[in-house]
Amino acid sequence: MSMRRAAVVGAGMTKFVRRALETPKELSWHAAKLALESCGLTLADVDAVCIGSAPDAFDGVHMKGEYLADGSGAWGKPVMRSFVGGGTGVFLGPQGWYHVASGLFDVVLIVAEEKMSSYYPHAQAAFLTIFDHTTERPLEPNLLWIFALEMNRYMQTYGISKRDIAQVAVKNKRNAADHPAAMLGEANITVEDVLSSEVLAWPVQRLDVSPVSDGAVAIVMASEDAAKRITDKPVWVQGVGWNLDTAYWTNRDLAYPEYVERAARMAYEMAGVREPRKEIHIVEPYDPFDYKECHHLEGLLLADRGRAPELVADGVTLRTGTMPSCPSGGLLGVGNPITAAGLMKIAELFWQLRGEAGARQVPGTPERGLAQAWGGLMQVGTVTILGTERPA
Amino acid sequence: MTSRVAVVGVGWTGFRPVSPEASYKELMYEAATRAYADAGINPRADVDSFVTVAEDFHEGTSIFDEYVPDQLGAAQRPMHTITGDGLHGLAAAVMQVLTGRFRIVVVEGHSKASNILTLPEITAYAMDPVLNRPLNAHPIAVAALEADRYLHETGTTRAHCAAVVAKNRRNALGNPAAAYGAEVGVEQVLGAEAVASPLSRLEISDHADGAIVMVLADAEAARRLSPHPVWIHGVGWANDSPTLESRSWGRAVYAERAAAMAYRMAGIDDPAAAIHFAEVDDTYAFKELQHLEALGLCGRGQAGPMTADGATGPRGRLPVNVSGGSLGGGHLLDAAGLARALEVVLQLRGQAGPRQLRGVTTGVAQSWRGVPTTSGAVAVLSSAPNGRVP
Amino acid sequence: MAQHTASLPGTALREDDIQSGRALTVYHEVRAAYAWDAGLAIGRYLDALREGHLLGVRCVRCDRTVVPPRAFCEQCFGPMDAFVPVADVGTVNTFSLCYVTWDVKRIADPLLPAVIDLDGTSPRAGILHLLGGVKPDAVRVGMRVRAVWKPSRQRRGAITDIRYFKPLRGG
Amino acid sequence: MPLDPTLHVERLRAWRGEIPAAHRYTVGPAGERFFRALRDEGRILGTRCNRCGITYVPGRLFCERCFDELHDWGEVGPAGTVEAATALHLGPDGAPLPRPVMLALVRLDGADTVLFHYLDELGPAAATIGLRVVPVFKPVAERTGSILDISYFRPA
């Protein structure tokens, strides 16, 4: 059976800020309205809505998808909220794709929102409850533990130093200086700054971590016929993949994200990508922590295991390198309103592949990009591949 | 059009007021094992994608999605959560099959409602934090206001609502999976303790624990796997305004729109003629009536009198909630809609035991996500493979 | 130029705007309390902890012994075959020195969370716990450690019946 | 199930825990305008969507139907009509209340939407649909910029 094609035709976003005045609904509305305006559509053109948002405990509303529906443009419309933890923002690619590719809808509005500042006193406390309620929570874990444990295992397994990894934070924060949505911060930090920043949970230090933020991002996805009506520059969904590993995260090899590889292989297969290192021109891997970008580049098969830091050191992943990674500035640079940050990666590919990324534009004429996010207890891989060429 | 997706396996465990011998994982594992045995599949080899429905605050875990794959056979497989009702999950699975890239997709929903110690506070936490929550009201107030408005606009009486309770609790006596089967009279319902006028204690469904798993397949796999595939002719889902301020209070607009979408997909112009029986949301007794009207199975204000006359009873012309519904079966939180679809599947397969309806080929399942939402979903299921019902 | 490079919406507040009341806010704490049924596998795990030992489960088909127990094997999807005792001695798979509590309060003496691979389990079948009785800068991946249990009358059938894992003498 | 089941009811365990969740919610730019007018002037403001012909109360930043930004602010009420009412016998934790609380949907004159709020001082009037009501404000000094700056509605 030939597949019904889908394309991204519009995108919009709010600024990412530490603490927003706007309510979650209002943030969603701003992003959704900008996305519609960017392709000359109105809400009346929208057939269905997909919402992505991370734990309800952040915004502080149970059944958050229901609460966000009006701000997301879902009044009177079919709407579903998907949820795969931190992987949700990029999972909106697959979710929007299957809405369109099913043949049920022609124009789908896709909205990701997070307001982490509502949680008091600090959003990180909401993460206590991601751990198993009976066998882990009594140990009073915090979110940093699981990253620190994974980062340490990764470094130990491959003999990687903190210095190797810190370059990711430097690169992404510098890239973000060109992003109009980026949180105000120091754009020009050095590796020494990262290494001398406050130790939170060794080996994780303050500047290894992306800042919690509020914000929203939206894109518009359309069927082939609708996309051609809407724009002469559709950016096609060429491949999607997702994968969820076991909940027993301590029973797993933390040095390598196999779930990311499985999600990537699913997306590559659909996109007909056989040599990802040649065929992926821009990559937006998930970078809530600097080592995660390396980890994910390896899971995506864009670097050999344990060798991603070398790509960073060699300048391969710079915006001007041969495989630009996080040209947006990523979560480390722009900010990390969880699902909104994930969908920002898809929006970035959309702008880059249309040559509309302004000061962030990667040189040449990139034809294909990949966005990836991760989530849960080191277990979710989500991948969306966009390209300028219409899929076969 | 010819239907391209069918239910080829169902499994469930429960439904019971409490389930202290099993963890949520063990409940889900049992339901999944039954569903895979029913479909004759190995989840580790044969399933292309898994969908679950859950809400973090019903589980007591943030990012509950994490804890789902193992007990469904979904570890290292495509799997995701929809924070919706089970029928939303079913619709997500249908869409995946319709893309042509997924042959077999599994949907799961469950309830461990007995493990939630503060459900009213948690439900209230779904209300607008600025405009509504400061009133510090039990969320049943929202349902009561809807009921007040619905009775006012349609002329439906409390006795009509009580007849729903009597019917569904009695129907549940014929369903071994139902938690709350009983002979309850209309007078007993009307005389029960007032909770939030016009709702009495007996008009409000109690929760139950349980898990439901369904295996969906494309047409080719369905014919290969199942001697009695149940075809999904249409799915629909929709929201009205989420705000208390600007929603419709008398009509279930979400159900009207969801039904319109599902009927359009199924090619149904006259639902009252095409649909032989219905499993609809009855979280509160009046909701069954309001939802029957929204589904176009009777005119506005007619569902109450029809129910009082027995037309929606098991031997009536439009049997409704033969399973016992949520009032008789127990409300399964996010799995509530899957419980409705489960009964439709069993009836269409002729496997409903003592409550089996005669001569039915097409049924509808409908769900609502409960207060304070305006979110609903509909599925039209049939034992006939052709989309247009004869 | 594309829409997104125009000035983007989103109004930044400072913490002081909230504290001073310059921005109106509504405060709410939800009471979200649960009693999660332990069920068969975790119920027995907790029983064993109270008795002072660690319990795993074994899948004969996959030739795998894992902790914490589960009623099913997530790899082959069959039911697990048996509960099996596992040693309270193991090897540090990875660790961290954490200077922040779960609710983001700074602490001077770091907590030492670790994944500990227990003897007698299959490769990569560790559990999360804390290390203790060791200087933070002396902790190493590969270090051999043993559980330090609470006295039996203080044990209540909880993962915290083990206070922490400490290095075996001689590492 | 191959694992021996636990057959002793008294050995069944349930592990207790909570999701700790405390929040401070901003009211947003539209909320700032609405609640300041309520607090400082005792006025109830709505916004009108001229495209859809709907006046939203409380005033909103955007129209949920057409997505237009709403700029057209105006005062509504203060009198209004009860659209639905209930006598609520349960407290927020599910325990019975010593006496019921009256709650209503009130459509203020000039509004197309309703307010969810308390009814009180009913006297001989029945809390029925169609009842004309007016808001009772808190004393100015006690107002905080909250929906509770209206204490309740009472018969007009």
Per-position DSSP letters for D59-98, written without gaps between them: --SB-TTT--B--EEEEE-SSEEEEEEEEEEE-TTSPEEE
Strands of the sheet containing C82-86, edge to edge, are C64-66, C54-59, C82-86
For residue D6, list chain B residues with Cβ-Cβ distance below 8 A. Answer: 21
- Residue matched to tokens 């595939």: B229
For residue C45, list chain D residues with Cβ-Cβ distance below 8 A. Answer: none
Cβ atoms of D156 and D121 within 8 Å: the answer is no
Q: Which two tokens stand for residue A55?
A: 């734990």
Task: Indicate whether D2 pLDDT > 80.
Answer: no
Q: What is the pLDDT of residue C5?
A: 45
More confidently predicted of A9 and A186? A9
For residue B83, list chain A residues with Cβ-Cβ distance below 8 A. Answer: 63-65, 81-83
* Spatial distance between the Cα atoms of A329 and B348, rounded to a whole number of angstroms: 55
Query: Which pLDDT band, with edges at 50, 70 and 90, does B189 fall under?
Result: very high
Amino acid letter, residue C6: A
* ipTM exceeds 0.95, yes or no: yes
* Helix (H) or strand (E) run with residue B257 in it: helix B253-266
Q: What are A157-192's pLDDT values in tens digits?
A: 999 999 999 999 999 999 999 999 998 778 899 999
* Spatial distance between the Cα atoms of B347 and B10, rounded to a whole number of angstroms: 12
- Most distant pair of Cα atoms in chain D: their distance: 71
Q: Which segments of B74-128 does DSSP mark as H helices, in order?
A: 86-98, 119-124
Task: Indicate whether B388 pLDDT > 50.
Answer: no
Those residues with Cβ within 8 angstroms of residue A278's Cβ, 6 or more apart along the chain or in another chain: none
**Cβ distance of A67 and B91 shorter than 8 Å:** no
- Residue matched to tokens 């022609």: A106
Q: What is the pLDDT of residue C170?
A: 56
Cβ atoms of C38 and B22 within 8 Å: the answer is no
Which of C31, C35, C77 shows the shortest C-beta gap to B44?
C77
Which residue in B235, B232, B238 sits closest to B253, CA to CA?
Answer: B238
In three-state secondary structure terms, B290 is: helix
Burial A18-42 (b: 16+ CB within 10 A, else e): bbbbbbbbbbbbbbbbbbbebbebe
Task: Indicate whether A230 pLDDT > 50.
Answer: yes
Range with the poorest average pLDDT among A379-388, B1-10, B78-87: B1-10
Amino acid letter, residue A297: L
Query: Which pLDDT band, with edges at 50, 70 and 90, does B10 fall under?
Result: very high
Which of B75, B114, B125 shows the shortest C-beta gap to C30?
B125
Task: Indicate whether A87 pLDDT > 90.
Answer: yes
Distances (CA, A) of B138 to B20, B191, D92, D93, D103: 27, 22, 4, 7, 11
A83 phi and psi angles, rounded to 5 deg: -155, 110
Residues of chain C with pLDDT under 70: 1-6, 170-171
Q: What is the pLDDT of residue D3?
A: 85
* Spatial distance between the Cα atoms of D149 and D140, rounded to a whole number of angstroms: 9
Chains that touch C (3 or more CB pairs under 8 A): A, B, D
| Dihedral of alpha carbons B59, B61, B65, B68, sign | negative
User: What percent of chain B is modeled with pLDDT above 90?
Assistant: 98
β-partners of residue A391 are none
Chains that touch B (3 or more CB pairs under 8 A): A, C, D
What does the DSSP assignment read for C73-132?
-TTT-SBP-EEEEE-SEEEEEEE-EEEE-TT--EEEEEE-EEEEEETTSPSS--EEEEB-
Query: Which pLDDT band, with edges at 50, 70 and 90, does B389 fall under?
Result: very low
- Most distant pair of Cα atoms in chain C: their distance: 72
Burial A113-130 (b: 16+ CB within 10 A, else e): bbbbbbbbeebbbbbbbb
Task: Indicate whether B227 pLDDT > 60.
Answer: yes
Residue A389 neighbours by CB distance under 10 Å:
10
Characterize the bridge pairing of strands B49-53 and B104-112. parallel
For residue D119, list chain B residues with Cβ-Cβ distance below 8 A. Answer: none
What is the pLDDT of chain B when averaged over all its residues? 97
Q: What are D34-73's pLDDT values in tens digits?
A: 999 999 999 999 999 999 999 999 999 999 999 999 999 9
Burial B369-378 (b: 16+ CB within 10 A, else e): bbbbbbbbbb
Q: What is the pLDDT of residue B387?
A: 52
Cβ atoms of A3 and B100 within 8 Å: the answer is yes
* C20, burial (CB in 10 Å: exposed 0-12, middle 13-18, buried 19+): exposed
Provide the chain A residues 102-141 that lie in CB contact (below 8 A) with chain C.
Answer: 120-122, 124-125, 128, 131-136, 138-141
* B34 touches C: beta carbon within 8 Å: no
Which of A71, A120, A137 shows the shortest C-beta gap to D17?
A137
* Spatial distance between the Cα atoms of A279 and A298, rounded to a whole number of angstroms: 16
Q: What are C141-167's pLDDT values in tens digits?
A: 999 999 999 999 999 999 999 999 999
The pTM assigned to this predicted structure is: 0.98
For residue B20, list chain C residues with Cβ-Cβ distance below 8 A. Answer: 37
**Cβ distance of A57 and B62 shorter than 8 Å:** yes
Q: What is the pLDDT of residue C6?
A: 56
